[in-house]
Amino acid sequence: MDLPHDSEDRHAPHPVHRPRPRGHRQDRAPGRGPPARLRDGHGPGASRSGEVRFDWTLPDTWEPALAGADALYLVAPDDPSPVREFVRQAAALGVRRFVALSGRGIEKAGEKGFGQGMAAAEAAVQESGAEWTLLRPNNFFQNFDEDLWLAPLRAGRLGLPIGDMPEPFIDAGDVAEVAAAVLTEDGDRHAGRTYELSGPRALTFAEATRTIAGAAGRPIRYEELTPAAYRAELLAEGWPEAAADGLGAMFALHRAGYTAEVTDDVRRILGRAPADLEPWARGVATRGVWA
């Protein structure tokens, strides 16, 4: 699941072309179907590799980024306002297959809750007239070593307002491989489908923290916080109010149990079980990430 960002979000979509794969996790996924070139545009202009700039806030960058694309992996920004027009333009320019990254429980978020960009992406691709597939993953393993929870874990204490509700965390690499399969496989078996992507077992955050502490070989404790206390901590750390509210809304979905169920969608698409948190944590710990 993509988390709210603490700075302006300009995530690019990933148009699929036909030469060689390269770059991000989606590009490194094992090959399925025809090769795809996955482009994103975080740079200030065209790179030496020929990649094209894309910026959600600059519509003039959209058409060059979409040139020649027939399928697109859509990672929407937190701000939903540009999403519908972008998808409309992509379809008009020849995109015939959309794969939208969303998050589990998003259908319960409401119009002012968590994940409005993801909700806008879901609605836009379904209205596009093109083939579409929705990917709704759980929180990624990588949120523990690359993102929101890394600094607290390094500090020896992770405090969240989640209670004993478990979550089947998923490896972002598995999500990438699913996305690559759905984007590039021939046929329409994924068309009109919503995939709920989970890991193989549900763990509470306290259990996940103990797993990481064991892999790291050092004490790291989990502390249950009230939603108000968690919000206060985020604001004290300098998070914008909108981001703090978004995280609070996300954890409200978790507490309600909307993300707790283990699903079999990864296995059905990839023909194998998803990665498990414990061996992943052992591998990450060898890099000293949580030292």
Q: How confident is the model over 62-103, as pLDDT tens digits?
A: 999 999 999 999 999 999 999 999 999 999 999 999 999 999
The mean per-residue pLDDT over the stretch 138-144 comes to 97
Q: Identify the pLDDT of residue 16.
A: 40
Sign of the four-CA dihedral 105, 107, 110, 111: positive
Of 11-15, 40-44, 76-80, 107-111, the one with minimum mean pLDDT is 40-44
Strand pairing partners for 195? 135
Query: Which segments within 102-229 are labelled E, that is strand?
Result: 131-137, 157-160, 193-197, 221-224
Q: Predicted confidence band at 109 (pLDDT cuts at 50, 70, 90)?
A: confident
CA 136 and chain centroid, separation: 8
Residue 170 is classified by DSSP as B
Q: Predicted confidence band at 23 (pLDDT cuts at 50, 70, 90)?
A: very low
Q: Which of 249, 224, 220 is nearest to 1 (CA)?
A: 249
Q: Predicted confidence band at 263 (pLDDT cuts at 50, 70, 90)?
A: very high
Can you spell out the DSSP letters for 17-44? ESS---SSHHHHSPP-SS--EE----SS
- The tokens for 53 are 């700039």
- The tokens for 168 are 């089947």
Give long-range contacts, CB 8 A cutoff, 24+ apart: 50-55: 54/12, 54/13, 55/10, 55/12
Q: How confident is the model over 24-75, as pLDDT tens digits?
A: 454 444 444 443 444 444 444 445 556 789 999 999 999 999 999 999 999 9
Q: Which of 133, 176, 142, 182 is nearest to 26 (CA)?
A: 176
Q: Identify the pLDDT of residue 2.
A: 53
Residue 244 and residue 234 in contact, taking contact as beta carbons nearer than 8 Å: yes
Q: Identify the pLDDT of residue 21.
A: 27
Instruction: Domains for the chain: give ranges and CATH numbers.
Output: 14-138+171-198+261-272 (3.40.50.720)
Q: How confident is the model over 223-245, as pLDDT tens digits?
A: 999 999 999 999 999 999 999 99
For residue 9, pLDDT over 80 is answered with no
- The tokens for 112 are 């002012």
Q: How confident is the model over 172-225, as pLDDT tens digits?
A: 999 999 999 999 999 999 999 999 999 999 999 999 999 999 999 999 999 999
Exposed e or buried b for every residue in 159-198, given b needs 16+ CB within 10 A?
ebbbeebbbbbbbbbbbbbbbbbbbbeeeeebeeeebbbb
- The tokens for 231 are 């919000």
Exposed e or buried b for every residue in 240-263, given b needs 16+ CB within 10 A?
eeebbbbbbbbbbbbbeebbbeeb
Q: What is the dihedral of CA 37, 287, 206, 257, to 10 degrees?
A: 0
